[in-house]
Structure 1
Amino acid sequence: MAELIYLGHSAFLLEVGGKKIMFDPWISGNPKCPTKLSECEGADIYAVSHSHSDHGLDDAIELSKRRKGKIVGIFEIAQHASKNGANSIGANIGGPFEVDGVLIKLTQAVHSSDLGAPVGFIVKAGGISVYHAGDTGLFYDMKLLGELYRPDLALLPIGGHFTMDPREAAKAVELLGVERVVPMHYGTFPVLYGKPEDLKKELKERGIKAEVIQLEPGERREL
């Protein structure tokens, strides 16, 4: 059994295979996050997609030092975390690697970052594969990710302006071939105009049969 908990913006806690994995754990200052950093129990793995402040590198470092867990990300992210006293594992965009029994692949993300290259993540544990795209625009190699890693669920940004919008996210669903998608990176700031209902409309117009799982911050969903 696996469970996904939405923490707002692009932050999620995935509990699978006896492990807890936090994606982009922006908790401090996140207006959508339902919990405080002091209340967070931490995780085994903190998957940080890039260094922008709304994706939780600072919070991941604090949680790794105060609680437990390893920060996983691009090499430069891991170096920065290590220099600041956190436990970290750096990698690059290439083949999968294993961390505490969880298979992880860093993927391309079309974005920017102050530290190294921005990435997304494919994680596999407990027989389930989840793709967290990070902050990204649409890119055609998503089709290869779908063919090679066959994610059961995709967490995709839909807000637009800085990332894909609903139209591009719908095409991403088609390229990936996933049957379930969770929208993220929308509604946090006024500039993020994309909405889950727009994604549903775009999928319907394209004839793509995929379930849009719209989660409210703090909501849990069994996978």
Structure 2
Amino acid sequence: MRIKWHGHSCFSIESGGKILLTDPFDKSVGYKIPNIEPDLVTESHQHFDHNAHHLLKGNFEVIKDPGEYARLGFSIRGYLTYHDTSRGAERGTNIIFDITTPEGIRVVHLGDLGTMPENDLFEKLQEIDVLLIPVGGVYTIEPAEAKALSDKLSPRVIIPMHFKTEALKFNLAPVEKFLGYFDNYYEEREELLVYRKEELSKLKVKVIKLKY
């Protein structure tokens, strides 16, 4: 499995010869549109910085609703959550996508989660291998909340997303506010490459900041 960050909340997850892309953004966000041809696209919600699949190349299926899906060796579960602390009254709903790759590696993408999940969802999100979590606040959970949620979910690997960078054209907190809650982290790797699930438990550093 290969996970590459394309900026914001957009990752490509390559596994079993197929590519799943999460939350594609439009050109106004500031990052380059991914130059890849995905087979599957998941969208956590329908805002311009998360739903721009029309700018991608190739033929692919878009999954943008809660539910269970089995596609191209991927097992996907979408859980309905909220983009704010008012049960969606401010910014609408959000979907957490729980993705198991063909190798059996479980990747959970929290989308633009704006509030802590309810207890019944915590029970479903156990034994996560890789957690993709928003940490920039403003439109999502704040860095301190992201740390508390990371602790509660206790994944094998944490990859922050949705934070301020030089490329991003609107304001979010920088990733350093989230990283400051951890004793150490790794930030030199452009992508996370895992050949077998067992390798994740052997990683010495739990938090990995992928470079854009």
TM-score normalised by length of structure 1: 0.72
Structure 2 match to 1:86: none
Q: Is the 8 A contact 1:203 1:210 kept in 2?
A: no
> Of the candidates 125, 134, 149, which is equivalent to residue 146 of structure 1?
125
> Of the candidates 61, 72, 81, which is equivalent to residue 100 of structure 1?
72
Q: Secondary structure at the match of 1:216?
A: coil
Larger deviation: 137-146 or 174-183? 137-146
Structure 2 match to 1:67: 58
Moved over 4 A (4+): none
> Of the candidates 79, 99, 105, which is equivalent to residue 123 of structure 1?
99
Question: 1:38-77 to 2 correspondence within 5 Å?
Answer: 40-55=35-50, 57=51, 59-63=52-56, 67-74=58-65
- Distance in 2 of aligned mates of 1:28 and 1:189: 10
Deviation at 1:17, TM superposition (A): 2.2
Deviation at 1:189, TM superposition (A): 4.5
Q: CA 1:13–1:24 in structure 2 vs 1: closer, same or farther (change >3 Å)?
A: same
Question: 1:162-177 to 2 correspondence within 5 Å?
Answer: 162-177=139-154
Q: Secondary structure at the match of 1:211?
A: coil
Q: Deviations over 1:156-200 (max 9, x none)?
A: 00011110121101111112111211111110355312x333223
Q: Answer 1 or 2: which has greater helix percent.
A: 1
Q: Is the 8 A contact 2:26 2:48 kept in 1?
A: no
Instruction: Structure 2: give runs of 5+ residues left out of the alignment.
Output: 184-203
Deviation at 1:140, TM superposition (A): 4.2
Q: Secondary structure at the match of 2:136?
A: coil
Structure 1 match to 2:181: 202
> 2:137 aligned with 1:160, yes or no?
yes
Q: Is the 8 A contact 2:97 2:109 kept in 1?
A: yes
Structure 2 match to 1:191: 171
> 2:178 aligned with 1:179, yes or no?
no
Q: Deviations over 1:120-177 (max 9, x none)?
A: 2111111211001000122244532332xx2200000001111012110111111211
Aligned residue pairs: how many?
Answer: 182
- Distance in 2 of aligned mates of 1:210 and 1:186: 20
Deviation at 1:101, TM superposition (A): 1.8
- Distance in 2 of aligned mates of 1:190 and 1:54: 11
One-letter amino acid of the counterpart of residue 62, structure 2: I
> 2:17 aligned with 1:18, yes or no?
yes
Q: Is the 8 A contact 2:29 2:170 kept in 1?
A: no
Q: Please give the root-mean-square deviation of Cα atoms over the aligned residues, in Å.
A: 2.6
Q: Is the 8 A contact 1:8 1:30 kept in 2?
A: no
> Of the candidates 196, 211, 215, which is equivalent to residue 210 of structure 2?
215
Instruction: Structure 1: give runs of 5+ residues left out of the alignment.
Output: 75-91, 218-223
